Amino acid sequence: MNAEVPGLDDFPILSADDLVIYALGTYQVQQARSYYGEHIKSDGSYVIEVCREPNINDFSVGTFNWINPWLLRGRIHSRHSSRRIYYVYILVERATQGLDAILGHYCSCIVGKRTLGCCSHVMSIIMVHGMGQIPK
């Protein structure tokens, strides 16, 4: 995938400040740059999977009411073990912009199970889509 892939054009546009706020600090943003560098292919692609359910018009879980959500899934290799793969899931709301459009995330890594902030794996995917590029 790259930032111009059809089907990902409704991912919310985020600023560098938005990324720091979402991660609750700069550490994950800095680490996300190195994950991106390790996973980018020579043709500029970055493997990502998008799951869309076209028949969902209104989705409610508990007190959450989402109008038009879609799920983004990515696979990231661990920096510490080449055989370890982490799965990243990001739930996005089409009807909203900015940080509010990211409804939630989950990563199968140990840090990814946190409820505040996010891990570097999640941040690397949000950074590529939300900014269209990795900031220098």
Instruction: Say if CB 48 and CB 1 are below 8 A apart.
Output: yes
- Please report the sign of the dihedral spanned by the C-alpha atoms of residue 76, residue 37, residue 48, residue 99: positive
Residue owning tokens 């889509």: 129
Of 26, 101, 103, 33, the C-alpha closest to 62 is: 103
Can you give the residue ranges of every domain in the chain? 16-131
pLDDT band at 18, cuts 50/70/90?
very high
Task: Quote the mean pLDDT of the chain.
Answer: 77
Instruction: Say if CB 126 and CB 117 are below 8 A apart.
Output: no
Using CA atoms of 19, 106, 13, 26 in order, give the dihedral in degrees to the nearest 10: 10
- pLDDT, tens only, 116-130: 889 988 998 888 777
- pLDDT, tens only, 88-126: 888 888 888 889 999 889 999 988 887 788 998 899 888
Q: pLDDT at position 2, please?
A: 44
